[in-house]
């Protein structure tokens, strides 16, 4: 895609002013790194506070009669029971039980705000429009800014500018003023660190970014470090670690299916693909998304095969790279459950070499969300 046809966020000029390396991503001209470099950007987020431009994400406002109940018909999550000023992770599923997109949804009182993936936002909007009743109003917040402030010092930075944010816990949401700028924010993020995502009007986005960057703890962070940060935290990337052919059970996202919506729950089923997903809950799946430790220093990239000692292919890497926080390769993969349940050794096949891998039960770095 040529630069002439790429969409831009409200911060495009600021990225260029700060000498960001720009790349096409989900149809947008986006910063992959700044002069600091991906490695140092990554470590800065783990140790201080990083600011991300995620304005390419879709922000969809949904309102109308019984809106929570209507949204719940399209997701295996508890929407009805979500309190006001709280947010939850959700999945849009198709009739085959596959994941159309993963998203965040927030109860804003009079309406719900959905934050969806950039590459999926148009099709998500169309899907919702098709499946929600005609009296449900939907609005795509075109060009709305979205900034993510992440890291162990993000809270002290933001609380200097908006004191009421100091006591917010993971998945709280609020309307607030930051340096005189009206914002909506959630206590959440995509790095495994404490932090906030801040929605702001297009014309105020650059002013807010400059205000946050003026704080000594804050550096601008690009998409390169965003990817390694989320992988270390064990978080999925849509289109890589899950898609419309993969169910929430295979994706190891059972935790996201609310107990009220499971087969024995008080509001079980009723969403697209529920019978298929319920069958998998009862009978198991043939493969599952897992995290793998890699022996040695050689990187294992997306697409690499996972094989047994005998050379049988039993899986595939969907995300892989170097974990700057731990100084070694990190891998997310789908592996046959039979292989996971056996005692046979597993290897990643990389350029003709078999690198030993072992199943990991927890993320590569501890998730440090603030829960009060």
State the DSSP string of 127-183. Answer: HHHHHS-TTSEEEE-TT-EEEEEESTTHHHHHHHH-GGGGG--TTBEEEEEETTEEE
Look at residue 3 and tell me whether its pLDDT is greater than 90. no
The runs of H, that is alpha helices, within 251-290 are 274-283
The percentage of residues in the chain with a pLDDT greater than 90, rounded to a whole number, is 98
Burial class (CB in 10 A: 0-12, 13-18, 19+), 190: buried
Q: What is the mean pLDDT of residues 78-103?
A: 98
Domain 286-372: which CATH number of 1.10.287.610, 3.30.450.40, 2.40.30.110, 3.30.465.10: 2.40.30.110
Q: 203-213, pLDDT tens digit by residue?
A: 999 999 999 99
pLDDT at 4 over 80: no
3-state class (DSSP) for residue 105: strand
What is the model's pTM?
0.96
Long-range contacts of 302-306 (CB under 8 A, 24+ apart): 302/240, 304/348, 304/349, 304/350, 305/348, 305/349, 306/333, 306/335, 306/339, 306/346, 306/347, 306/348, 306/349, 306/357
Distance CA 172, CA 188 (A): 8
**Percentage of residues in the chain having pLDDT higher than 70:** 99
What integer pLDDT is reported at residue 17 of this predicted model?
A: 98
DSSP 253: -
Mean predicted confidence (pLDDT) in 171-182? 97
Distance CA 150, CA 152 (A): 7
Please give the average per-residue pLDDT across 136-155, as a whole number. Answer: 98
Residue intervals of the chain classified under CATH 2.40.30.110 are: 286-372
Region(s) of the chain under CATH 3.30.1360.120: 12-55+143-232
Strands 86-93 and 346-350: unpaired
pLDDT class for 14, splitting at 50, 70, 90? very high
Tell me if residue 194 falls in helix, strand or coil: coil
Instruction: Give the pLDDT mean for 40-57.
Output: 98
Position 246 scores a pLDDT of 98
pLDDT on residue 349:
96
Confidence of residue 353 (pLDDT cuts 50, 70, 90): very high
Q: What is the DSSP string of 234-249?
A: T---BTTTB-TTS-TT
How confident is the model over 112-139, as a mean pLDDT? 98
Please state the rounded mean pLDDT for residues 138-163: 97
pLDDT, position 357: 98
For residue 336, what pLDDT is reported? 98
Give the Cα separation of 360 and 358 in Å (integer).
6
Judged against a pLDDT cut of 60, whether residue 2 lies above it is answered with no
Nearest to 262 by CA among 251, 250, 249: 249
Shortest CA distance to 224 belongs to which of 52, 49, 94, 359? Answer: 52
Total Cβ atoms within 10 A of residue 198: 26
Residue 11 sits at the vertex; the CA angle it makes with 9 and 14, to the nearest 5 degrees, is 145
- Residue-wise pLDDT tens digits, 358-370: 999 999 999 999 9
Q: What is the CA radius of gyration of the chain?
A: 21
Residue 94 CA to residue 74 CA, distance in Å, equals 9
Sheet holding 145-150, edge to edge: 173-178, 181-186, 195-200, 145-150, 49-53, 218-220
Q: What is the CATH number of domain 12-55+143-232?
A: 3.30.1360.120
Residue-wise pLDDT tens digits, 111-124: 999 999 999 999 99
Mean pLDDT estimate for the chain: 97
Task: Tell me if 320 sits within 8 A of 259, measured CB to CB.
Answer: no
Rounded distance, CA 204 to CA 125, Å?
25
């Amino acid at each position: 895609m040529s630069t002439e046809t790429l969409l831009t966020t409200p911060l495009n000029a600021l990225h260029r002013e700060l000498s960001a390396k720009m790349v096409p991503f989900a149809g947008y001209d986006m910063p992959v790194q700044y002069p600091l470099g991906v490695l140092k950007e990554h470590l800065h987020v783990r140790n201080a506070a990083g600011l991300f431009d995620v304005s390419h994400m879709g922000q969809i406002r949904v309102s109308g009669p019984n809106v929570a109940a209507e949204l719940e018909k399209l997701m295996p999550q508890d929407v009805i029971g979500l309190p006001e000023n709280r947010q939850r992770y959700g999945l849009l599923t198709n009739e085959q039980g596959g994941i159309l997109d993963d998203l965040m949804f927030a109860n804003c009182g009079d309406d719900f705000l959905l934050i969806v993936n950039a590459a999926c936002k148009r099709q998500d909007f169309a899907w919702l429009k098709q499946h929600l009743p005609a009296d449900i109003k939907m609005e795509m917040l075109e060009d709305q800014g979205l900034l993510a402030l992440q890291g162990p010092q993000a809270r002290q930075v933001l609380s200097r500018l908006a004191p009421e944010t100091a006591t917010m816990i993971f998945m709280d949401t609020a309307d607030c003023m930051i340096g005189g700028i009206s914002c909506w924010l959630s206590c959440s993020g995509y790095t495994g660190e404490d932090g906030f995502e801040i929605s702001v009007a297009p014309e105020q986005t650059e002013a807010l970014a400059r205000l946050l960057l003026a704080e000594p703890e804050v550096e601008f962070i690009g998409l390169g470090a965003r990817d390694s940060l989320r992988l270390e935290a064990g978080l999925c990337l849509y289109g890589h670690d899950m898609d419309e052919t993969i169910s929430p059970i295979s994706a190891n996202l059972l935790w996201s299916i609310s107990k009220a919506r499971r087969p024995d729950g008080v509001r079980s089923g009723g969403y697209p693909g529920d019978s298929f997903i319920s069958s998998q809950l009862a009978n198991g799946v043939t493969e599952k998304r897992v995290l793998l430790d890699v022996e040695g220093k050689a990187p294992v990239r997306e697409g690499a095969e996972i094989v047994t000692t005998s050379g049988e292919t039993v899986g595939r890497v969907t995300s892989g790279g170097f974990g700057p926080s731990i100084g070694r390769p990190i891998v997310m993969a789908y592996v046959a459950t039979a292989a996971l349940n056996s005692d046979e050794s597993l290897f990643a096949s990389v350029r003709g070499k078999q690198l030993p891998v072992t199943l990991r039960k927890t993320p590569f770095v501890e998730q440090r969300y603030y829960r009060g």
